[in-house]
Amino acid sequence: MWSFLSTLSLLALTTTTSACGGHDHSHHRRAFPSTQLTRPTRPLEWGDVNFLQTTDTHGWLLGHQKTSFPEPNYSGDLGDFASFVSHMKRIALEKDVDLLLIDSGDLHDGTGLSDGFPSGGIDGHDSNQFLKRLPYDVMAIGNHELYVYENTLDMYNNFAPALKGRYLSSNVNITTFDPHNNTINVPVGERFTKFTTRKGRKVTALGVLFDFTGNDVNTTVQKVEDMVKEEWFLSAIEEEPDFFLLAGHMPVQKDNWPLVFNAVRAVHPETPIMIFGGHLHTRDCVQLDQNSMSLASGRYMETVGWMSANLSSSCDKKSPSHSPVTFSRRYLDTNRVTYQFHSGTSNHTFDTPEGLGITKGLKNLAKRFNLAQVFGTAPEDYTISQVSYPNENSLLSLMGARVLPYSLTLARDPSAFNSSSSNSSVTIQGVNQSVNPFFMLTNSGSLRFDIYSGEFTKNDQLTASPFADAFNFVEGVEWGVALGVRDALDEAGEARRIKRRGLVSGIDEVLERREEELYKRGDVRKHYLEWLSSMSTLHQNRREMTENLTLGYATSDACPGIGDDTIHIPLESFSIPDFISSDDPTAIAGTPTSKEITNSTLVDLVFVDFIQDQLLGILNDVQNEVGTDKQKQWADGDVKTYSTLLSTEVLGVYAEGNWN
């Protein structure tokens, strides 16, 4: 395997850069550290029609900047990608073929660039301005554009118009007002679009969202099975194009793409269909028939998808039937080594003025949002699933055993620790006046990304925990009951609880129903981790091929050939609990008790507001099962605010007190 020194940037957001020779000196290039990256294995296969796809970018526009692998593999920023697209467009012109750029949704919620805006801002508004500068041919809406109405409205007013009819939301509407102040219910973008490529090929495109149920008020998501029966849909697909382009935020397997595919096939049995999906954060490919290919290209700007198709014979209208289309696909690591390899450029010829301008603009945005603010220096890597739980290097263990107890104890009593956190950059106000020890619970899904050794910044805080949940509590829960709640919240505990009721035969059904509901609300963590685990198992033999290989994604899918553009040692993946908790309250320094705890000891049960409804129901259920003397039925009126500290802030508070 070939490898050579990367020209990528791994520097922090505040790194001083040097002017790059041969370009406008108002732009600056990043420094070139000697980080070894594995080179792509082979050139791309070009066809008559070619596609580059991004999906689930979630604000990762400045690249992955940490030096621990696999992060360097994904270190290219949006400016680098813009330069790459420009070079690939040039190559397409030279080859006299079409090249289209596609995105399948989820631009919000993930990094400080999208979520670190000052008070009064709108999530993703500023970072999305840079995505609008790329020549996307089609973009589709994602579920993360719909959790907050203000974000959806911003997409409707300020983002969709820039795509000039190419931002698609076939089954997603928003309720807003027309120029005469009348209420209207309209698509966020367009339901479909028809256009002609540079080479004269006619395209019919749609943008479909899965059956999402977690959308905010004044937004609606129509079920896919109902959408394909709509008159507008049947009219849109009536005329045969040269190919259908179905972009959407929906997995290419195990979801409803076949409903859309079959509806098109009922009218056009052999017309080529290209499907670009997403949402599960996985690399995946499947062919529903010989004239179609469905591709999903990962997450967080870690992967750019490539698809090519040879349509010449299949689109010969004089032929009595279409010939099978020849497809290829590839998963490209997003770094400058990959980009330069496939664009035939060098360090001195790769950057374009537009690409450099986007990089500079993103860095200025990061500076404006103060994303380089350092809370401390993480001594080690803490990952979500690359080590078993519990483990010293597990981010879940760190959060439950140390971060939550420390930060929320400090919130209640700033004098509890002799640390620098009394000078915390976060204003902490303790609200709870209870003298009980506490027991804390949160959902592990609130942790979205790993923490790597080195400076821990405001941006790292937001990538690791981007959801601003509040900490609430109920006072005076018996310790034995609190432990039962923790067990019941986790899948294994849930199964044991059902078993105790004699409903063994219903365990699988209950868990499946629960998982389906989480999926409909947008939680894909379990699916992503299961995929990681399966890839790790399938490619176990690569761990013996360590020469010139780095840690990264190892992919198998349902399409022929090898999809990985660069060969990696597969990431380890371990199962993790659905919920995490703090330790025994008596073991937590700073809590107001040192006596031995028993099942009847009263504790304050602290939790994030996101799980409040679920937790209260289970709390009452467990309490009844345990048969405790305290038969209080807990309700929303019993819930109090524990601290003004939010879940997005606890890691920073901990780092200031313990990583300096």
Question: Residue type at 567?
Answer: I
Please tell me the least confidently modeled range out of 225-234, 268-277, 476-485, 580-589.
Answer: 580-589
Looking at residue 177, which CATH number applies to its domain? 3.60.21.10
- Full domain range(s) for residue 315: 44-368
- Of the residues 351, 368, 385, the one at which a domain ends: 368
Give the integer Cα–Cα distance in Å for 360 and 26.
9
Give the integer Cα–Cα distance in Å for 335 and 7.
9
Together in a domain, 430 and 451 = yes
Please tell me the least confidently modeled range out of 11-20, 445-454, 551-560.
Answer: 11-20
Together in a domain, 122 and 204 = yes
Residue written as token pair 């380089």: 372
Read off the DSSP letter of residue 121. Answer: -
Which tokens hold the place of 188?
Answer: 């966020």
- Whether residue 402 contacts residue 650, with contact meaning beta carbons closer than 8 Å, is answered with no
| Distance from the Cα of residue 552 to its chain's centroid | 17
Together in a domain, 295 and 221 = yes
- Of the residues 368, 401, 423, the one at which a domain ends: 368
Residue written as token pair 């000196």: 25
Residue written as token pair 């219910």: 185
Q: Judge whether 238 lies within some domain.
A: yes
pLDDT(448) > 70 = yes
Together in a domain, 91 and 239 = yes
Say what percent of the chain tops pLDDT 70.
84
Q: What is the pLDDT of residue 508?
A: 59
Together in a domain, 138 and 241 = yes
Q: Mark out the alpha helices in 47-159 (DSSP H runs).
A: 78-95, 112-115, 125-131, 149-154
Give the integer Cα–Cα distance in Å for 414 and 457.
22
Together in a domain, 357 and 379 = no
- Of the residues 333, 368, 403, the one at which a domain ends: 368
Q: What is the 3-state secondary structure (H, E, C) of 43-104?
A: CCCCCCEEEEEECCCCCCCCCCCCCCCCHHHHCCCHHHHHHHHHHHHHHHHHHCCEEEEEEC
Give the integer Cα–Cα distance in Å for 93 and 460.
40
Q: Judge whether 33 lies within some domain.
A: no
Closest Cα partner for 48 from 102, 87, 99, 90? 99
Read off the DSSP letter of residue 407. Answer: H
Question: Residue type at 447?
Answer: L
DSSP letters spanning 260-279? HHHHHHTT-SSS-EEEEE-S
pLDDT(481) > 50 = yes
5-57 tens-digit pLDDT: 333 333 232 333 333 333 333 334 444 445 789 899 999 999 999 999 999 99
424-444 tens-digit pLDDT: 555 555 555 677 888 999 989
- Whether residue 569 contacts residue 534, with contact meaning beta carbons closer than 8 Å, is answered with no
What are the φ and ψ backbone dihedral angles of 604, each rounded to 5 degrees?
-90, 120
Give the integer Cα–Cα distance in Å for 546 and 188.
48
Average pLDDT over all residues of the chain: 87
pLDDT(656) > 80 = yes
- Whether residue 242 contacts residue 283, with contact meaning beta carbons closer than 8 Å, is answered with no
- Higher pLDDT pick, 423 / 476: 476
> How large is the average pLDDT for residues 180-192?
97
Give the integer Cα–Cα distance in Å for 3 and 22.
26
76-127 tens-digit pLDDT: 999 999 999 999 999 999 999 999 999 999 999 999 999 999 999 999 999 9
Q: What is the pLDDT of residue 313?
A: 55
201-258 tens-digit pLDDT: 999 999 999 999 999 999 999 999 999 999 999 999 999 999 999 999 999 998 999 9
Read off the DSSP letter of residue 403. Answer: I
Question: 97: which residues sit within 8 A by CB, 6+ positions away?
Answer: 46, 47, 48, 49, 50, 199
Q: Judge whether 215 lies within some domain.
A: yes
Which tokens hold the place of 93?
Answer: 């012109």
Q: Judge whether 126 lies within some domain.
A: yes
Together in a domain, 358 and 393 = no
pLDDT(494) > 60 = no
Give the integer Cα–Cα distance in Å for 150 and 147.
9
Together in a domain, 630 and 484 = yes
Give the integer Cα–Cα distance in Å for 586 and 304.
49
Q: What is the pLDDT of residue 429?
A: 53
Closest Cα partner for 85 from 50, 117, 113, 120? 50
Q: Judge whether 30 lies within some domain.
A: no
Read off the DSSP letter of residue 156. Answer: I
Together in a domain, 312 and 283 = yes
Looking at residue 585, which CATH number applies to its domain? 3.90.780.10
Please tell me the least confidently modeled range out of 303-317, 543-557, 587-601.
Answer: 587-601
- Higher pLDDT pick, 317 / 81: 81
Q: What is the pLDDT of residue 46?
A: 98
Q: What is the pLDDT of residue 488?
A: 84
Q: CA torsion 614→616→622→625, rounded to 10°?
A: -110
Q: CA torsion 184→187→192→195, rounded to 10°?
A: 80
Together in a domain, 144 and 283 = yes
pLDDT-based confidence at 322, cuts 50/70/90? low
Our CA angle for 82, 86, 89, nearest 5°, is 135
Read off the DSSP letter of residue 628. Answer: -
Say what percent of the chain tops pLDDT 90.
72
371-430 tens-digit pLDDT: 999 999 999 999 999 999 999 999 999 999 999 999 988 877 766 665 444 455 555 555
